[in-house]
Amino acid sequence: MKPVRILFVCLGNICRSPLAEGILRHVAGDGLVDVDSAGTGGWHIGDPPDRRSIAVARKHGIDIARQRCRKVHAGDFEAIDLIFAMDASNLATLRAMAPLDAQHKLHLFLEYTQGIIINVPDPYYEGPEGFETVYNMLFEGCMLLIGRLEERS
């Protein structure tokens, strides 16, 4: 079976979505997923993730330092199987961008994985504890996502 193509999306693609990408790639291993991340905004295109995201990932044995930020583009809606927004605002932006035949691919991450309508908070204006909280939320969500994907295969 071919890997499920997953895209994590936040605003700038420097904090939450690259961290989610790194976590899922790390815990899923090879074969189950093909994972990427992007932002709805293009301010950081080509930049590495926020140093605090890199640090919290490293603390948990995950290297995301070589990732580079990119913006969501029209081709993503065709190429990707599941697109996960980190919060309701970015989900609304994605819904406005996506063609009708791709709307079913768009989900709020924690609603899809945990069944609760809750945002992954943006830790940009927080200290290390905010990034640790986000890491834990994303890790739990990614573990639940793997379970759902394994059930499908």
SS3 78: helix
- Max Cα–Cα distance, the chain, nearest Å: 41
Q: How far apart are the C-alpha atoms of 84 and 113, rounded to whole Å? A: 10
Annotated catalytic sites, by residue?
A: 10, 16, 122
Q: In what order do the strands lie in the sheet with 4-10?
A: 33-39, 4-10, 82-85, 106-108
| Contacts for 114 with CB less than 8 Å, ≥ 6 apart | 140, 141, 144
Q: How far apart are the C-alpha atoms of 122 and 11, rounded to whole Å? A: 9
120 touches 134 (CB < 8 A): yes
Amino acid at 45: I
